Chain A
Amino acid sequence: MTDQSGSSTTRRGFLQAGLAAGGAVATAGAARAAGDPLITEVQPWARFTGVGVDAVPYGLPIKFEDDVIRRNVPWLTAETMSSVNFTPIHALDGTITPQGCAFERHHSGAIELRKEDYRLMINGLVDRPLVFTYADLERFPRENHVYFLECAANSGMEWAGAQLNGAQFTHGMIHNMEYSGVPLRTLLEEAGLDAAGTLKDKWIYVEGADASSNGRSIPMDKALDDVLVAFKANGEALRKEHGYPVRLVVPGWEGNMWVKWLRRVEVMDGPVESREETSKYTDTLADGTSRKWTWEMDAKSVITSPSPQSPITHGPGPLVITGLAWSGRGAIERVDVSTDGGMTWRTARLAAPGQDKAVSRFYLDVDWDGSELLLQSRAMDSLGYVQPTKDALRAIRGENSIYHNNGIQTWWVKPNGEAENVEVS
């Protein structure tokens, strides 16, 4: 606050002073030559108080960010209860996806299930079938891990060519969160696996409590490796749309397997071959045969800015090119960026060393000369797997795979800074 209001300490005097100052701001255009009025003139926010604590007991982003929201593509699905929307990755930075804008995929809508009504059953080839309450789960030793979840159909609309104009729509079926939960191994061992005999050829079937009864079969090796029964994400309870109160976390594997509202784990001799692992989430090749059990999400990356929804709004000069990279088979080792459609590449800077099955943020800081760019990024993971071009993938799989499109994305950035989703030779 400045001293302009003089000695008046009454409420009325304070209000009058405020009105006078407001009038001064409104007529201040001529002062620009002397300096930026945002600096040279006292602004309302520098004079009056803001809102007090508890004005919003649980905060939302400030209204100026109200375009940073999930969006769907209405023509994709019959209606929203069995549909998907997309994370606004073009507008985010860092690696952790806030829950409130992390994409949703429901098969029968997001249900409301109270912790008190939550039950988790472990049955099948176990020594003793068990039922856990939510309170039971909280008493097991807990772990924290950051993992990405990518829908197998992310970029699926792009198999036949560039279609959707925005990183949110082409690559936004992904989020990356820090999960707190109990290793599934702990719960399976609590039920006892002696009854299963040899574990190598055994499976588990996991199922949700919602009306879709989404269920998937997972080999026991994976179940005992790094699968987590999670109840917190980014430090707080899971959101309803992400499976509150408990979801499965299946690191590196396609999002459909991360069963929400997890209610049952059955130890079995073989896979159930449920609807979601036969009629869906199988990848049809050019000759009409289909791959099944394509669980791992291969290394992939995308430049999130500049991109069609995040154009360059400044002229030539310093430009931050940034994006996300991830691999379901390990950690990101390196990301290369091309500004000429893949003729030459430069290695970008990773904001932090890659973490196992988690998103990495990369940056390439360039001096843009204002000419057009054909921007691409190319991820490389700890296996040495290098993200392929879309043409290389299509040469092997054809155009009907729907799922697992991890091809290199191209943005055509024009001299005016606008960007478009294109394919290049």
Chain B
Amino acid sequence: MSKYRNLVIGTALASALLAGPALAGEYGLGRTATPEEIAAWNLDVSPDGTGLPDGSGSVEQGETLFVERCAVCHGEFAEGVGRWPKLAGGEGTLDRADPVKTVGSYWPYLSTAWDYIHRSMPFGNAQTLTADETYAITAYILYSNFLVDSDFVLSDENFLDVEMPNADGFIVDDREKVEFPKFIREPCMEDCKDSVEITMHASVLDVTPGTETDEEAAAAQQDAAPQDEAKAEPEPAAPAGPDPELVAAGEKVFRQCKACHMIGDGAKNRVGPHLNGVLGRTVGSVDGFRYSRTMAEMGEDGKVWDAESLGTFLENPRDYVSRTKMAFRGLSDAADREAVIAYLSTFE
């Protein structure tokens, strides 16, 4: 800032009247943020609606947007896909084992949902939703939780009228009151209990990574989700196929893909389409998978996945296929791309 700013140090009253340059702090470092800069970053929305922009969106508009932008992870009815968050349901489960915490069953403030969707969603393509689109998607999530009717339109004007079922479900941390009287004490050193028995072993439910059974155990855990019933255990590469070491390296790289894509015997579509025979397959052609419009159109134009096109796609998915549903940021390392493509090529 200017030397002029230094002149006004200690003359707060005078400078306040001037309404000119910002008053300097002790160090005179930094510069005044412009109104445009503050508007660009100061997007948070508070429970009382402070920060909400003008706008509106209907359940109907929200449904279309949700299917296109959100359902790939959250399911078309906001029920969640695989281990991605459920946004609807779960009412009445908070006092049971494994409560289901959704926008409807748990979130105390609607502002939280609006703010988070607006600033942080869709995952992998954040800050691309307009205010109206955010109102619409929020309205659809409310509808999915049976909190509003199908003709509901959410706007900055009626925002605070929406009642969140679990609004009164929270208390401020009371550990000091409830727990300190029990835990601030002189610790016992001798004869603290009469006997000790082991009541539970971690090895009974062995889900620790790196142990022999962890893959199966993890698979068993995931079996709770119906789409995970078949675990992809790829067959070794056929003789005369690609370099086995490269394939093995590719299998490791594929761990990053497994959350969304299945491959091998019984592979099904999950968050992403199954990848059996993807090399040589027409783009966007797996039955039963809802591709982005861009991807579907590439297929209609006769585009086929080969090592080159797949490599380009995997390097930066959204550069190659704009508006692809794949939220993955891409494989920046060419060796990783080569390896994973070699791995994919072993599945027909």
CB < 8 Å neighbour of B182 from A295, A343, A392: A392
> B172 near A422 (CB under 8 angstroms)?
no
Contact of A344 with B190 at beta-carbon distance under 8 Å, contacts A190-B30, A289-B169, A291-B173 already known? yes
| Cα-based distance from A212 to B218 in the complex (angstroms) | 27
| Cα-based distance from A392 to B206 in the complex (angstroms) | 25
Q: Mark A257-294, 1 if CB is under 8 A from B, else 0.
A: 00000011010101111110011001010111111111
Q: Mark B323-341, 1 if CB is under 8 A from A, else 0.
A: 0000011000000000000
CB < 8 Å neighbour of B191 from A79, A121, A273, A343: A343
> A279 near B107 (CB under 8 angstroms)?
yes
Question: Of A57-65, A125-133, A311-319, which binds chain B?
Answer: A125-133
Contact of A213 with B126 at beta-carbon distance under 8 Å, contacts A129-B33, A130-B31, A399-B97 already known? yes
In the complex, what residue of chain A is closest to B82 when comparing beta carbons? A78
> A80 near B211 (CB under 8 angstroms)?
no
Asked whether any CB of chain A lies closer than 8 Å to the CB of B193, the reply is yes
| Cα-based distance from A340 to B198 in the complex (angstroms) | 11
> A272 near B192 (CB under 8 angstroms)?
no
Contact of A273 with B196 at beta-carbon distance under 8 Å, contacts A128-B32, A287-B95 already known? no
| Cα-based distance from A191 to B22 in the complex (angstroms) | 9
In the complex, what residue of chain A is closest to B219 when comparing beta carbons? A75
Asked whether any CB of chain A lies closer than 8 Å to the CB of B56, the reply is no
In the complex, what residue of chain A is closest to B208 when comparing beta carbons? A165
Question: Of A18-26, A38-46, A381-389, which binds chain B?
Answer: A381-389
CB < 8 Å neighbour of B32 from A129, A263, A374: A129
CB < 8 Å neighbour of A383 from B42, B178, B184: B184
> A425 near B197 (CB under 8 angstroms)?
yes
Q: Find chain A residues with CB under 8 A from B179 CB.
A: 388, 396
Q: Find chain A residues with CB under 8 A from B282 CB.
A: none
Contact of A292 with B41 at beta-carbon distance under 8 Å, contacts A78-B82, A128-B22, A420-B201 already known? no
| Cα-based distance from A192 to B189 in the complex (angstroms) | 52
For window 67-120 of B, CB contacts with A under 8 Å fall at 73, 82-84, 94-95, 97-99, 101, 103, 106-109, 111-113, 115-116, 119-120
Asked whether any CB of chain B lies closer than 8 Å to the CB of A104, the reply is no
Contact of A272 with B44 at beta-carbon distance under 8 Å, contacts A82-B123, A163-B205, A165-B203 already known? yes
Asked whether any CB of chain B lies closer than 8 Å to the CB of A109, the reply is yes
Nearest Cβ on chain A to B304's Cβ, whole angstroms: 27
Q: Find chain A residues with CB under 8 A from B321 CB.
A: none
| Cα-based distance from A308 to B203 in the complex (angstroms) | 11
Nearest Cβ on chain A to B211's Cβ, whole angstroms: 7
Q: How many residues of B contact A (CB 8 A)?
A: 94
Q: Find chain B residues with CB under 8 A from A289 CB.
A: 94, 169-171
> B29 near A282 (CB under 8 angstroms)?
no
Asked whether any CB of chain B lies closer than 8 Å to the CB of A354, the reply is no
> A71 near B169 (CB under 8 angstroms)?
no
Nearest Cβ on chain B to A63's Cβ, whole angstroms: 19
Asked whether any CB of chain B lies closer than 8 Å to the CB of A169, the reply is yes
Nearest Cβ on chain A to B83's Cβ, whole angstroms: 4
Q: Find chain A residues with CB under 8 A from B123 CB.
A: 81-82, 108, 211
Which range contains the number of A residues in contact with the other chain?
35 or more
Asked whether any CB of chain B lies closer than 8 Å to the CB of A421, the reply is yes
Asked whether any CB of chain A lies closer than 8 Å to the CB of B202, the reply is yes
Asked whether any CB of chain A lies closer than 8 Å to the CB of B255, the reply is yes
Asked whether any CB of chain A lies closer than 8 Å to the CB of B235, the reply is no
Contact of A295 with B173 at beta-carbon distance under 8 Å, contacts A74-B218, A279-B112, A424-B196 already known? yes
Q: Find chain B residues with CB under 8 A from A342 CB.
A: 192-193, 196
For window 201-228 of B, CB contacts with A under 8 Å fall at 201-203, 205-211, 217-218, 221-222
For window 127-183 of A, CB contacts with B under 8 Å fall at 127-133, 136, 139-140, 160-166, 169
> B42 near A123 (CB under 8 angstroms)?
yes
> B259 near A79 (CB under 8 angstroms)?
yes
Asked whether any CB of chain B lies closer than 8 Å to the CB of A336, the reply is yes
Contact of A278 with B112 at beta-carbon distance under 8 Å, contacts A293-B173, A295-B173, A420-B202 already known? yes
CB < 8 Å neighbour of A298 from B30, B95, B175, B218: B175
Q: Which residues of B contact A (CB under 8 A)?
A: 12, 22-23, 25-27, 29-33, 37-38, 41-42, 44-48, 73, 82-84, 94-95, 97-99, 101, 103, 106-109, 111-113, 115-116, 119-120, 123-124, 126-127, 169-175, 178-180, 182-185, 187-203, 205-211, 217-218, 221-222, 255-256, 259-260, 328-329
The 3 A-B residue pairs whose C-beta atoms are closest, nearest first, are A288-B95, A190-B25, A341-B196
A to B CB contacts below 8 Å, 7 in the list: A75-B217, A275-B115, A278-B109, A345-B188, A380-B187, A385-B183, A387-B183
Knowing that A384-B184, A384-B185, A425-B195 touch, tell me 14 more A-B residue pairs with CB under 8 angstroms.
A79-B260, A127-B23, A128-B25, A130-B32, A140-B27, A165-B211, A272-B45, A274-B112, A290-B94, A336-B189, A343-B193, A344-B192, A422-B200, A425-B193
